[in-house]
Amino acid sequence: MQAYRFALDLTPAQERSVFAHAGAARKAHNWALARVKAVMDQRAAERSYGLPDDLLTPSLGWSLPALRKAWNAAKPQVAPWWPEVSKEAFNTGLDALARGLKNWADSRTGQRSGRRAGFPRFKTKHRTMPSVRFTTGAIRIEPDRMHVVLPRLGRLKLHESARKLTRRCEAGTARIMSATLRREGRRWFVSFTVEVQRAALHHARPESVVGVDVGIKHLAALSTGELIANPKHLDAAQARLRALGRALSRKQGPDRPSGRKPSKRWQHASARLGRAHARVANLRRDGLHKLTTRLAREHTTIVVEDLNVTGILRNRRLARRIADAGLGEIRRQLAYKTQWNGGRLLVADRWYPSSKTCSSCGAVKTKLPLRERIYTCTDCGLTLDRDLNAACNLAALAAGTTTAGSGPVRGRGAIHKTRPGGQEAAKRPPGSTARAVRQTGTVMPKGRTAA
């Protein structure tokens, strides 16, 4: 499954129609959520009265078919205008609620890993990103490759040519499964979810191995010796964002307690601030895609770390710059791009001391403060950039492995405490440099927590 995303050029009438579909999705979501909460509260109250389970109010199913059945029965009274929009608009809101309820239930019972999911909340017009998804009906790209056709919305003009997707569809190697309209930064985008047939690829450089150490000072340090600078798009835009934020604060905004609506000037200032944030996000996305695409095409085996990005973001002094760098996004993109290009992604163990280990002799330091940006080995005298040293160690982990495919591979166990240098050094080939180990083969373990 692959997504193709294109910007749209909508007329005012088309934009109003798309907004109507997004509002219909929000309406169905909020109605179903209110119904679910009412049934849950009623059953809880009846249990407090001592009623047996067989006498309680019948429960409402949380699956998409159950929610859709309840909505179809109530929509003539709840939304008498329902024939004016596509049925897919209501299905979009109900599907989002069904997935949210399932995530909440699985999180409570321990069937869902990660951060605990909260109970779904009501969506508002001002805080929710307008979105609608089409899975059935007429979904196609016009022969001129500059227009798309969607149910009830008709023919919509694209801002750019869809020739890449059209060629695949014409060749029979791609099939459009769904189309999602979404508004970001005052612009509408359409994303096609496509089922693509890919031939088995063989990388042009089967022996190429690279270790990638991501960070803040350098966005990525490669074991080849290349240091990729961090563009810091958010820092560069801070002056403009502050000015726009101050201008917005001087306008008359909405006030919920008094029911005051925002002024036109406030709405225009809010739109300018949103466009500035969208530009930062687009610059970041473009840079990360170019970096990960180049790495996946030039190297067969890529070794990265299993960073605990959520934990690192708790550092209030570094959170903004870590979020701006997009460290987690780099690994996510490398995961699927290595498969597309016939390579593999190896993830080092989270507790592997890549920064503390000497890439020349294998000695491990007990402590290495974050302020020390140059690694100096007390055993062999190696002096090297801290991030570059870590990248060399990651590449060395790939040497000597026979694991095929991609995915996490553990080296040593998850030992939280760094071992003495002698014990760790015994695991490395004596006298071998990271460069020599890198040229011998391909493998690895699984990531770390701090830089």
Please enumerate in sequence order all residues whose Cβ is within 8 A of that of 322, keeping only pairs 6 or more positions apart, or say none.
216, 309, 312, 313, 315
The three-class DSSP label of residue 291 is helix
- Among 95, 306, 349, 387, the one annotated catalytic: 387
**Count of residues making up the chain:** 451
Give catalytic status of residue 41 as yes or no: no
**Angstrom distance (rounded) from CA 209 to CA 215:** 20
**Angstrom distance (rounded) from CA 293 to CA 343:** 12
Give catalytic status of residue 387 as yes or no: yes
Nearest to 331 by CA among 353, 350, 314: 350
Give catalytic status of residue 213 as yes or no: yes
Nearest to 320 by CA among 257, 445, 230: 230
**Angstrom distance (rounded) from CA 142 to CA 139:** 10
Q: Alpha helices, DSSP H only, in 195-308?
A: 233-236, 238-249, 264-298
Q: Are the C-beta atoms of residues 342 and 404 closer than 8 Å to each other?
A: no
Asked whether the CA dihedral 379, 381, 385, 390 is positive or negative, the reply is negative
Per-residue exposure over 24-63, b if at least 16 CB sit within 10 Å of its own CB, e if not: bbbbbbbbbbebbeeeeeebeeeeeeeeeeeebeeebebe
- Among 88, 95, 213, 324, the one annotated catalytic: 213
- Among 305, 306, 324, 349, the one annotated catalytic: 305
Q: What are phi and psi of 62, to 5 degrees?
A: -100, 0
DSSP of 175-215:
EEEEEEEEEETTEEEEEEEEEE--PPP--S-TT-EEEEEE-
Rounded (10°) CA dihedral 150, 155, 156, 160: 100
**298: its two tokens:** 């030039």
| Residue 358 β-bridge partners | none
Nearest to 149 by CA among 284, 14, 299, 293: 14
Active site residues: 213, 305, 387
